[in-house]
Chain A
């Protein structure tokens, strides 16, 4: 493998120029549009970025200006970001699900002057808050649909027009773009990446070119990628994981980034592309597993039988493979048989057949899920890190995958545990700090170490074990410590449970609010001839609650300590949702918010005399109308829990 450390001397636009010299005619980006996959070579990529950069310069964007990007993943998102970076401006991703009010706050906080939106949906949000964002000079849009009435207003700019401005500027001064990007230095801040905002408004961490490129280099030192490899870009661009791949990994290795047709079709597109590596939050892997289970369940008896037999063999073999031990020959043979007969065709149906490595990060994944994926032949590994270190500080190595750990540090990354048990790290990928928040930055980077805010320890094999957020760890009334996230993940391993919220801080026992999985439980109910109408109705069925009770019982039986056992639980009548503020944009639970919102339920959980309670639920439709629905919720006490 070639040494790539010289790439650290480049900025992202300079790296793009270098990549064009290396593999200019290879496909860099591929986007599905009107049912076809359209290719952009590295030359096309470079050409578009150049046009955007020169166009932006013409419309008055200067070094240090901030350009926000809102929308689904499309190649134009990258053209805009790198185009802005070419002239020394700073790009910033905002999640496409963000509501107008929050967008106004973020734009104001980050001093944004130009916004790029992919379609009318996002543009309309800006129109709504236009008088609150006086500094925004231009709104650039990609999809002209529904934009007719805006065309006469020069606040808006169609991207095709920007291309024309840029192309004209390039024709006039062909050497200008090179001169512009030569002014950049790897240590310049190039992008603001928003933190997930579990505890309030997101903070913008200031990332440099070097931060991203270093991550691309170090990651491929551990797991090499060929320039013929494929990657499907389905994570939100505002998330660090996606930027890591598109700014860092793709340019350092020359892989192809594929953009799905729409968010809804990404699983279909996954099948068509068959990527060689993928990143995802645990939720994605949970969803895929549910799909597999459903597929098997709906299949005919021979398939089911073969699956049941070989999954056990697969799991056995997976344990050897994960620990790197030599497998006995007989097991190796039957595992090969299972792979050939059952699992290869199975994962081929989902598009994971060519996958060499899959990474999960952002939250913990149940150990059982690791074994499951390894058993069906998907090399799933845990990564650990945060936005401020470009996503990855620790990761599993092939043949050394321990499901309860997050692996070893990346090359060039130093890590230690503070006296308080907090995980600290140092690497060239650590950000410069938060924008306009000096006190928070100082806290974050105190003593030259990145403070993760997570509690953890290094085990005897040198692997890091993450317990929970330092601030999230709970203590029972008796002072016994437990991690709510850990218990929630255990519950979520049941296919019937979609989401769970654990309570018990300063209380006598642990309790839980549970969301059933509408698809899996719906199918389960159908198979049993149980009729239901809505999610709320299904959640309240006594049979369903019995089913969930079994799952809770299961978790309790396997609890490491007595005070981990869940004593009371209730099945919530609605799915926790980002739009209702119950989950963060990355799908983590806002525990405090949930507790406040469902205060009555929380109190009922801790009042053992309550077994049924009437609740009024307010629902808001998209057009702002609200309705109130009355429902009865049942509360259950588990037997045998003190």
Chain B
């Protein structure tokens, strides 16, 4: 009984995430104005921009925390404009938060098992009896979580409470939590913030592996330009809620507005 990635059935049809003319305003403040971008399936797409540019607002719109004031968000045929977070998550879109959103007093394993609660299908009666369906579901659940633990190399921390782990490891658990939902689209909000060089290197390797081995589409919001330039297939640049540049890494660095807004003037 070995679980091998090689034998895993991978999703064949992959949906494109299309954001068209999305505007998000809070009273007079325009967090996003007429932003249009395509997230191509199977690629790593980065969204960069200075603080307050609207990057996290954009992710919040996709994941259903905010609803755009105008414009449309489509994931395949599904319209996400008014979708709630759990509906978005059921479509296969998962998110790792910038500020770690885990239960600090629970173990890594419990955090991950809990994250999959919506994938568990048994009734309260089954749960009371436990033997039979509930136990089968739970062991399938555990199996999947263990596969993610192996993927994110979290074995040494399985039974540690999250609060007792270093920041870098907690970030890794945060990404693992998103992975337990078997996402087709993974939203990563600054996964490398506050990490040292070694931890960043590890995280970069994980992100590339998530894309390559798990065939997931990755949307990366990140400040570390070096990392973004290295691993992105496509980059979008936001500034004050306006999209000011898009393209491959080598194209983006040549756009004058981008250089001015993000990297600064000479």
In the complex, what residues of A have CB within 8 A of residue B158's CB? 35
A570 to chain B, nearest CB (A): 28
Q: Which of A90-98, A251-259, A261-269, A353-361 contacts B (4 or more CB under 8 A)?
A: A261-269
Segment of A110-118, A294-302, A620-628 engaged in the interface with chain B: A620-628
Shortest B22–chain A CB gap in Å is 35
Taking the closest CB of chain A, its distance from the CB of B153, in whole angstroms, is 8
Q: Is the Cβ of B156 less than 8 Å from the Cβ of A264?
A: yes
Q: Contacts A146-B209, A268-B156, A622-B201 given; indicate if A35 touches B5 (C-beta within 8 A).
A: no
Taking the closest CB of chain A, its distance from the CB of B24, in whole angstroms, is 38
Evaluate contact between A146 and B213: CB separation under 8 angstroms. yes
Contact with B along A587-610 (1 / 0, CB 8 A): 000000000000000000000000
Residue contact A144 to B6, C-beta cutoff 8 Å = yes
Interface size class of A (residues with CB under 8 A): 20 to 34
The answer to whether A146 and B212 have CB atoms under 8 Å apart is: yes
Q: Report if A372 contacts B (CB, 8 A).
A: no
Bound-state Cα–Cα, A35 to B148, Å = 11
State whether B150 touches A144 (Cβ < 8 A).
no
Residue numbers in A under 8 Å from B198 (CB-CB): 621-622
**Candidates A144, A262, A265, A621; contact of B5 at CB < 8 Å:** A144
Given that A146-B212, A146-B213, A264-B155 are known contacts, is A621 also in contact with B4, CB under 8 Å in the complex?
no
The distance in angstroms between the C-alpha atoms of A149 and B153, with both chains bound, is 21
B155-182, CB < 8 A from A: 155-156, 158-159
**Nearest B residue (CB) for A266:** B156
Residue in contact with A160 in the complex, picked from B4, B146, B147, B150, CB distance below 8 Å: B4
Query: Cβ of A334 < 8 Å from any Cβ of B?
Result: no
Specify which of A38, A144, A149 is in contact with B1 (CB 8 Å cutoff). A38
Q: Is the CB of B197 within 8 A of A625?
A: yes
Instruction: Determine the chain B residues whose CB is within 8 A of the CB of A144 once the complex forms.
Output: 4-6
- Tell me if A528 counts as interface (CB < 8 A to partner B): no
Provide the residues of chain B in CB contact with A268, threshold 8 Å. Answer: 156, 159
* A148 CB contacts on chain B under 8 angstroms: 212-213
> Which residues in B have their C-beta under 8 angstroms from that of A33?
2, 150
Q: Which of A150-164 contact B (CB under 8 A)?
A: 158, 160
Closest residue of chain A to B205 (Cβ to Cβ) is A146
When each residue 510-546 of chain A gets 1 if its CB lies under 8 Å from chain B and 0 otherwise, what string results?
0000000000000000000000000000000000000
Check B143 for interface membership: any CB of A closer than 8 A. yes
Collect the chain A residues with CB atoms within 8 Å of residue B213's CB: 145-146, 148
Across the A-B interface, the 8 shortest Cβ-Cβ residue pairs: A34-B146, A264-B156, A35-B146, A261-B155, A265-B155, A265-B156, A621-B197, A262-B155
Pull 8 A–B residue pairs with CB atoms less than 8 Å apart, ordered by A. Answer: A35-B142, A35-B146, A36-B146, A144-B6, A145-B5, A146-B213, A262-B155, A623-B197
Measured CB to CB, the residues of B under 8 A from A are 1-6, 142-143, 146-147, 149-151, 153, 155-156, 158-159, 197-198, 201, 209, 212-213
Other than the known A34-B149, A145-B151, A622-B198, what 10 A-B pairs have Cβ atoms closer than 8 Å? A34-B143, A35-B155, A35-B158, A148-B213, A149-B212, A158-B6, A261-B155, A262-B153, A262-B155, A622-B201
Which A residues contact B (CB, under 8 angstroms)? 33-36, 38, 144-146, 148-149, 158, 160, 261-262, 264-265, 268, 621-623, 625
